[in-house]
Amino acid sequence: MLVFFLGFMINREHLCSSNHPFVTPIVPHTIQSITHSSLAKMTFEGKIYFKNIDYAAKDFGNRYHLMPSAVLHPKSVSDISTIVKYIFDLGPSSELTVAARGHGHSLLGQAQAHQGIVINMESLRVSEMSFHTGKHSYVDVSAGELWINILHESLKRGLAPKSWTDYLHLTVGGTLSNAGISGQAFKHGPQINNVYQLQVVTGRGEVATCSEEENTDLFHAVLGGLGQFGIITQARIALEPAPKMVKWIRALYSDFSTFTNDQEHLISSANSFDYIEGFVIINRTGLLNNWRLSFNPKDPVQANQFTSEGKILFCLEVAKYYNPEESNHIDEEIDALLSELSYIQSTLFLSEVSYVDFLDRVHVSEIKLREKGLWDVTHPWLNLLIPRSKIHEFAQEVFRNILKDTSNGPVLIYPVNKSRWKYGTSLITPEEDVFYLVAFLSSAIPSSTGKDGLEHILTQNNKILNFCGRPHLGIKQYLPHYSSLEEWKAHFGAHWEVFHRRKLTYDPLAILAPGQRIFRRTTAFGLQ
């Protein structure tokens, strides 16, 4: 009966978003005034700002610009708990919502709160990083901490987290709210697999510690939970001994089946590489020459004879971690692994870099793009999780019929093994044990009406999504975005009831993460 009663407290209709995301909805001035005056009277260890907060209405996607009423810069978990509890106590008559914002790398306004409160999580400093070494080493960190900072601090102790994202200048809370998938996920699972404990502020303003042993349902709900059940304020991250060096390798394939067979072979091998990814190359010229900036060809003569013009090619990208004292036999291990693969021999390129340089490789590109003014453009990215049994059907339609070139940004493609992932989290994946992550990481050139313009890329993405919508494919979105509640229900499938029950339990007034546009803020019923 309690669940039945609480069910009335969430208007489960989707929060409609405009087809013109740059247009900010208009809210009566009286609501803004009341919000300002009430919040201005509150006391925080940190500070709350009402002016010069435009940055909180922007993100990496650069498509949704929704202005909040205020931005809180917390200095303690108590600051976050206080403001959430205050809004919760206002009851369903209030329309205030709260969004936790990390490094602003969301794509579609997921960390924005229109006329609500944005919490700048990078301001939160629960304590200095606290390291524990032993059989199960770990570090306790603030959820607003960047992964790149954790890397540098843990390396001072010869340790490092097990699983990464490709880009490290993201906050812990942000990636754990989604999953954190990269080329190590086949081996260690995503980042949500490598967390021992969380501290969370629920939608009721309550502070809770959760783990596999304590408040287990909340622990699983928050991991991959899109911010719907609580704001992560602290995390205990699993660590392992850190390597110092990396052998970084690329090779090309012209046949998709051969490419995927080799990728799947590598992720299922007992002794394999430590990182396995791949990407698609369509209609690119001078490809191997570009690689020479960071890689060396295994056979320079053969590499000079290879041309990529007009072809659809697939690149395998792998890495092997090691320490200098292992250098005598690491090349033998790599040669043995490569001998089992069927790549185009003339396209084998190798590089040797430090562990830090490898993990932080995307930041090098960021610096170059910022210098050219091309980092803060619009990024209409599309991330998909595709069952192994359907990857060939997907590739045939998308890579040969829909996607005409890959000059607007990389197209990643690599398999992961779900059997090694944590069961029971909020993350939704295809039903099969092996599935592929395919990520279209496009950048749109401002004011362009051509193939590199936003409208063209969005049209292309919609064609891909329309194809993916065929029920027999079983494809899921990663970093999902949908335009109706029915689509969200379809995304969660059999897991929807659990997801909805958790929302009723931990955020019954739908205060948290309004930018995900799953639940509408409660306005009809009171809470008892």
Catalytic positions are 105, 166, 277
CB-based burial label for 74 (10 Å; 0-12, 13-18, 19+) = buried
User: Can you spell out the DSSP letters for 135-149?
Assistant: TT-EEEEETTSBHHH
The alpha-helical segments, DSSP class H, found in 51-124 are 77-90
Q: What angle do CA 447, 452, 455 make, to 5 degrees?
A: 65
> How many Cβ atoms are within 10 Å of 371's Cβ, its own excluded?
9
Round to whole Å and give the CA distance between 121 and 407.
Answer: 35
Answer whether 195's CB lies under 8 Å from 185's CB: no
Among candidate residues 26, 97, 17, 94, the one with its CA nearest the CA of residue 61: 17
Answer whether 122's CB lies under 8 Å from 134's CB: no
Q: Tokens 């003014």 appear where? A: 373
Among candidate residues 49, 68, 77, the one with its CA nearest the CA of residue 202: 77
Q: Phi and psi at residue 252, in whole multiples of 5°?
A: -105, 155
Strands 138-142 and 230-241: antiparallel
Is residue 520 helix, strand or coil? strand
The structure tokens listed for 271 are 């002794």
Round to whole Å and give the CA distance between 432 and 457.
Answer: 30
Residue partners of 211: CB distance under 8 A and separation at least 6: 196, 197, 198, 219, 236
Round to whole Å and give the CA distance between 116 and 421.
Answer: 35
DSSP code at position 377: S
The structure tokens listed for 48 are 């709350």
Is residue 36 helix, strand or coil? helix
As a dihedral over the C-alpha atoms of residue 118, residue 123, residue 127, residue 130, rounded to 10 degrees, the angle is 90
